[in-house]
Each structure stands twice: as C-alpha cells, then as structure tokens.
Amino acid sequence: AQSVSQHNHHVILSEAASLELGCNYSYGGTVNLFWYVQYPGQHLQLLLKYFSGDPLVKGIKGFEAEFIKSKFSFNLRKPSVQWSDTAEYFCAVTADFGNEKLTFGTGTRLTIIP
C-alpha cells in the first residue's frame, strides 16, 4: 500500500521568503502525485498534480513541484510567498492507473508573517 510523509508539521516564514515543503511517498510502482491547499475554514483545492512527463510541474498561484523518482519525493516550492499563502498544504498519492485510492500526508501548516 502507498503512504505519504510530510515531515514539516508547521512552517513559519516572512513574506517574500522562499518556500519548500517536503513530501516523500512510499510505493514501488508508478504513482500519481498531488498537492492540495486548504485555506482557513475552507475545503481543499488542487494546487498541482503530476501524472507523467516533465517532472517539474507548475500549478496555480505560482507554486511548482518537482518529482524526483530516485528520492521518492515531490517537494512543493514557491520562490516568494505572500501572506495569503497562509494555509495547510497536503501532499497526496495514488498508485497505478485505475486505482482510485488517494492517500494523503498529514499536512503542513504554513504561516506567513507580514
């Protein structure tokens, strides 16, 4: 079965700082990877996804993520964060085409200080 680890539980940054949130997955086969964001009091929204092809994926709001197969990682990055990026971020994985079981990481709370 697949699993996802997010080692950063709470990250605090100042505005304009660069961001990198870690995500590692465990699964021996082909995977699809996702980052979701949950703003305070709201439901989850998809930031970006990786299915195949270019391992550097660009998403909404200036976020990007890089899939490194050899490291089983899919870290989320943003060069310059804004106060409005304050939210909880979840990495998720689903393994194999046709397997619709989506496994989430425990989430990383991001707080941006103005």
Partner 1 sequence: EAQVTQNPRYLITVTGKKLTVTCSQNMNHEYMSWYRQDPGLGLRQIYYSMNVEVTDKGDVPEGYKVSRKEKRNFPLILESPSPNQTSLYFCASSSLAGGYETQYFGPGTRLLVL
Contact residues: partner 1, CB under 8 A: 6, 9, 32, 34, 42-46, 49, 51, 90, 92, 94, 100-107
Asked if 54 and 71 touch (Cβ cutoff 8 Å), the reply is no
Task: Determine whether 40 is exposed, middle or buried from the number of CB atoms within 10 Å of its CB (0-12, 13-18, 19+).
Answer: exposed
Return the number of the residue (19 or 37) whose C-beta is nearest partner 1.
37
Return all residues near 56 (Cβ < 8 A) that are at least 6 apart. Answer: 64, 65, 66, 67
Minimum separation from the CB atom of position 6 to partner 1 (A): 8
The nearer residue to partner 1, 70 or 97, going by C-beta atoms, is 97
Whose Cβ is closer to partner 1: residue 17's or residue 38's? 38
